[in-house]
Amino acid sequence: MISFKNEIAKSISKITNIEEKELESYIEIPPNNDLGDYAFPCFKLAKTLRKAPNVIAQEIKEQIDADETIIERIEIIGGYLNIYINKEKLVQTVLTEISEKKEMYGSSNIGQGKNVVIDYSAPNIAKPFHIGHLRSTVIGGALYKIYNFLGYNSVGINYLGDWGLQFGKVMAGYDMWKDEYDFTKDEIQSILKIYVRFTQEEKENPKLTEKAREYFKKLEDGNKKQVETWKWIRKISLENYQKTYKLLNAKFDSYNGESYYNDKMDAVVEELKEKGLLKESEGAQVVNLSEYDMPPCIIITSAGTTIYATRDLASLKDRINKYDFEKAIYVVGNEQRLHFKQVFKVLELMGYQKYASRCEHVPFGLVVDKNGEKIGSRKGNSVFLEDILKEAIQKVEKIIEEKNPNIENKEEVARKVGVGAIIFNDLSNSRIKDEIFDWDMLLNFQGETGPYIQYIYVRTRSLLEKAGYEPKIDDVDFSVLQEKEAIDTIKLLYRFNEIVESAAQKNEPSIVARYLIDVAQSFSTFYNEHKIITEDKTIQNARLYLSSCVGTVLKTGVELLGMEMPEKM
């Protein structure tokens, strides 16, 4: 597809003898469409050319040898060149590209041959999937799909919390009380009840904590009975999580959790010792990071046990060897910011500077209710994600019963809309902000929500169905799509690849989510201002084809976020 920015930069380069790449980086998109399609700030060249910005602007305007089929006109405002692209060329470029690439429109191969390792979700086994893991799962899942769309090989890693004293508590409690619970109904809930009971009773009976340590020690030592119980707990936990992952369209290539690195940590500790990085501090073994304005990174506690940092360093070394990654992304809450700064710095000090520079912590805020309170409990009980997703689906089913009870595949539509609403609500604002969970807001079919985008997509499909139109690029007269509303929409479609690349560069799926809202709203304005189905078949074919292209981009975009599109609503 023609890069209009690049063509403009080429033309200005011939006049100024300044590198195209540098010039292209200066080109802006004006905040107001009336100010042109692109703006070039001539003051950026004032020092190099030793001329006033308005003089530079005038000279470029007079001398520019632009292809008239690309640039329609240029205006000068306050040292800026405001450049207007030929509308017909814009329309032809965008619609033809979508015709050729279809659902791959907006993709690229910039990541070809490069691995991106994305560590996300990471629930603690022996517990149902809590709503607190929603954000990591959804953000990580979107990044996984976005990087793949740009040609990278995404490697999704679910670093399960599957080791530690909590399993000693579960196993000890299981042996004591298993006959009191009905494991035939819901194994994971029964295990959770045992764990909760154990943690409550050990407050009054410290001997239970010692009992848990004994059980966990047996597990660490490879006791056959405890290993089998642990494997069973891990298995049923994963089976439970898979139901939620299936609903959220989350995919993982590895489920190597903390337990996987048990036999790999000694090598990390030895390497740190050999490189003179380990120091003793109050009985613990640490890496001193005071030079970098950070507290020491604890590797071995004063009790002689390894810690999260030890396991993360072991996992990083393993991922370096397995994947030789271009990026290693950790989608983990904001409260772990210092932890990852420490781990990445220690990796660098160990001599892995290249890989340490490729590690990124992708933090995010909390899930809060409309009053700003953290959602962590409901009437004293944990809020399980599967329950939230089921509730969303049920609420949509109720809306369908009220508004369109005869729709086909009612359950499937309710699932796509309900789950999509949850996903989009999470991704529609900057990830670092807290996610506000408000049923009325996220299931709104008119606001800036997932259901609204799905509704606009369904409208594009119903227009094609109503007209009995099979989209064909050969039927389109590009010259008839000149209305401001049509051009505004096509300009947005043109930017899709740029938007996706920006989302990857910043590890920020909300860039795609906000873009989809803009596309949906722009098309809605076009639809409201101009009849799509008209007596003039030339105009109708062009407008229907544009409708089809909008639908293609909306569908591709929401699928990058992990949502699904219903064909009817």
User: For residues 458 and 466, what is the distance between their CA atoms, to the nearest angstrom?
Assistant: 12
> 5, 87, 89, 127: which one is catalytic?
127
C-alpha pair distances (Å), 64 with each of 11, 15, 46, 71, 73: 6, 7, 18, 10, 11
Burial of 138 (0-12, 13-18, 19+ CB in 10 A): buried
Write down the catalytic residue from 101, 130, 341, 491.
Answer: 130
- Give φ, ψ of 52 to 5 degrees: -70, 145
Distance CA 403, CA 310 (A): 56
Whether the CB-CB separation of 214 and 171 falls below 8 Å is answered with no
DSSP 493-519: HHTHHHHHHHHHHTT-THHHHHHHHHH
Task: State how far the Cα of 472 lies from the Cα of 418, in Å rounded to an integer.
Answer: 33
* Residue 339 a catalytic site member: no
CB 78 within 8 A of CB 43: no
Token couple for 94: 């965008």
Q: Specify whether the CB–CB gap between 490 and 546 falls below 8 A.
A: yes
Longest dimension (CA), the chain: 89
**Catalytic status, residue 127:** yes
- What CA–CA distance (Å, rounded) separates 485 from 18? 36
Separation between Cα atoms, residue 361 and residue 132, nearest integer Å = 18
Q: Name the residue among 85, 90, 74, 6 with its Cα closest to residue 42.
A: 74
DSSP state of 124: B
What is the Cα 199 distance to its own chain's centre?
35
Select which of 44, 89, 133, 345 is catalytic: 133
CB 342 within 8 A of CB 294: yes
Active site residue 374: no
Bridging pattern class, strands 359-362 and 327-331: parallel
Cβ–Cβ under 8 Å, residues 345 and 355: no
Nearest to 429 by CA among 521, 330, 508: 508
Q: What are phi and psi of 127, to 5 degrees?
A: -140, 145
Residue 282 Cα distances to 286, 402, 517, angstroms:
10, 66, 55
Instruction: Name the nearest CA neighbour of 165 among 133, 210, 201.
Output: 210
List all residues 6 or more positions away from 564 whose beta carbon is below 8 Å from its beta carbon.
249, 416, 419, 420, 558
In 370-496, which ranges are E strands?
435-437
For helices 385-403 and 410-427, angle between their N-to-C axes, nearest 10 degrees: 120
Angstrom distance (rounded) from CA 275 to CA 351: 9
CA distance 260 to 272: 20
Helix%, strand%, coil% for the chain, nearest 5: 60, 10, 30
Q: Which residues carry out catalysis?
A: 127, 130, 133
